[in-house]
């Protein structure tokens, strides 16, 4: 039995990513969102108005940053598509157009001093809210088409391929969770005041919240699983990259199989966190005050993840597949 030396897969696979052809319309959108981010920051400083308990220009700022990150990520992912590239690029252009439509409505509403989301107080507000909801539905469908095409892409590394695919899948689930916020609450159905839908569960929107993000500290908040789910699209691929780079220094991470197993654990843990956060929000529990079964589930998930990661690393110092 003699060992056969193996060149770290990350070096071979990494070269493939340098040939990516970025999707330009999405990059143009990202550039616009960068400008809007700066403008919203200035508006926050010079415009003291508030809306539903938060600075008026905070929502445009948060959405501008979110759309910027999503646009850059999706532009890169579309560049990885090999079969059906033309269809993927058309879908990317559709995403860019309808995300721009959503941002126009959000910024326009802020300029008018009214809320953009859940607003059905007037025929115009109802129409704009319907346009936003329809735009996001189109973005979701177009993103789903792109995600499906990525399953046919060979990225040269099982872990990286799985992280991108799983990250996109979880992100689509996170995006879909946003539609739960569009359902009118029981209180709104009993006494309609022009608002149909809410971020929080168990309290009205605009109460005490965490700094910057505004997530409720006294009730459940559906924005949390929505946010966490969507950003799996960045977190999991970045984790795959970090593991590949770590292989330059850590022997256990040199092997593709070890990185793949660690990423499987990360995907399972991420999906578990998303499930727990969704249930927590629907139960009306604040993110800072988990109790009962939610607290037990969070601790159990943390411990299980740590144990499995430790086991994978302990067995990852050698790769039997390289011996014969």
pLDDT at 117: 86
- Is residue 3 in a domain? no
pLDDT at 108 over 80: yes
pLDDT tens-place string over residues 186-207: 777 777 777 888 888 988 887 8
Instruction: Say if 2 falls within a structural domain.
Output: no
> What is the three-class DSSP state of 196?
coil
Of the pLDDT bands very low, low, confident and very high (cuts 50, 70, 90), residue 102 is very high
Nearest to 177 by CA among 274, 39, 263, 83: 274
Helix (H) or strand (E) holding 211: none
pLDDT digits (tens, 9 = 90+) for 10-59: 434 444 444 668 999 999 999 999 999 999 999 999 999 988 778 899 99
Q: How confident is the model at residue 223 (pLDDT cuts 50, 70, 90)?
A: very high
Asked whether residue 11 is assigned to any structural domain, the reply reads no
Per-residue pLDDT averaged across 134-147, rounded?
95
Asked whether residue 186 is assigned to any structural domain, the reply reads: yes
Q: Is the pLDDT of residue 323 over 60?
A: no
pLDDT of residue 75: 95
In a domain, 108, yes or no: yes
Query: Does residue 5 sit within a domain?
Result: no
Is residue 197 a part of any domain in this protein?
yes
Closest C-alpha to 257, from 312, 196, 299: 312
Inform me whether the pLDDT recorded for 237 exceeds 50: yes
Report the domain count for the chain: 1
pLDDT over threshold 50, residue 4: no
Range of the domain at 74: 16-322
Residue 292 vs residue 270, higher pLDDT: 270
Q: How far is CA 301 from CA 47, 48, 220, 239, in A?
A: 43, 42, 20, 19
10 belongs to a structural domain: no
Residue 19's pLDDT is what? Answer: 64
Q: What pLDDT is recorded for position 318?
A: 54
């Amino acid at each position: 039995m003699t060992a056969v030396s193996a060149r770290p897969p990350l070096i071979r696979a990494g070269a493939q990513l340098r040939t990516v052809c970025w999707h330009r319309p999405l990059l143009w959108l990202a550039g616009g969102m960068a400008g809007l981010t700066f403008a919203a920051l200035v508006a926050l400083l010079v415009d003291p108005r508030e809306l539903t308990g938060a600075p008026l220009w905070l929502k445009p700022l948060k959405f501008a940053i979110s759309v910027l990150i999503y646009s850059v990520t999706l532009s890169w992912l579309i560049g990885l598509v090999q079969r059906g590239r033309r269809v993927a690029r058309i879908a990317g252009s559709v995403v860019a157009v309808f995300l721009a439509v959503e941002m126009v409505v959000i910024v326009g509403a802020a300029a008018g001093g009214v809320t953009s989301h859940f607003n059905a107080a007037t025929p115009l507000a109802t129409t704009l809210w319907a346009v936003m909801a329809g735009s996001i539905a189109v973005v979701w469908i177009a993103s789903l088409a792109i995600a499906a095409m990525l399953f046919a892409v060979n990225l040269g590394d099982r872990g990286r391929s799985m992280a991108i695919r799983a990250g996109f899948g979880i992100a689509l689930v996170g995006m879909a969770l946003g539609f739960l916020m569009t359902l009118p609450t029981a209180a709104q159905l009993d006494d309609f005041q022009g608002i149909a839908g809410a971020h929080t569960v168990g309290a009205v929107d605009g109460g005490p919240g965490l700094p910057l993000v505004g997530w409720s500290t006294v009730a459940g908040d559906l924005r949390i699983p929505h946010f966490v789910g969507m950003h799996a699209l960045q977190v999991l691929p970045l984790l795959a990259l970090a593991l590949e780079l770590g292989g330059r220094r850590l022997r256990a991470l040199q092997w593709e199989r070890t990185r793949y197993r660690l990423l499987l654990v990360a995907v399972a843990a991420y999906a578990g966190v998303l499930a727990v956060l969704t249930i927590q929000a629907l139960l009306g529990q604040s993110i800072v005050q988990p109790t009962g079964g939610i607290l037990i589930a969070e601790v159990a998930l943390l411990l299980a993840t740590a144990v499995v990661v430790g086991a994978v690393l302990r067995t990852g110092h050698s790769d039997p597949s390289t011996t014969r």
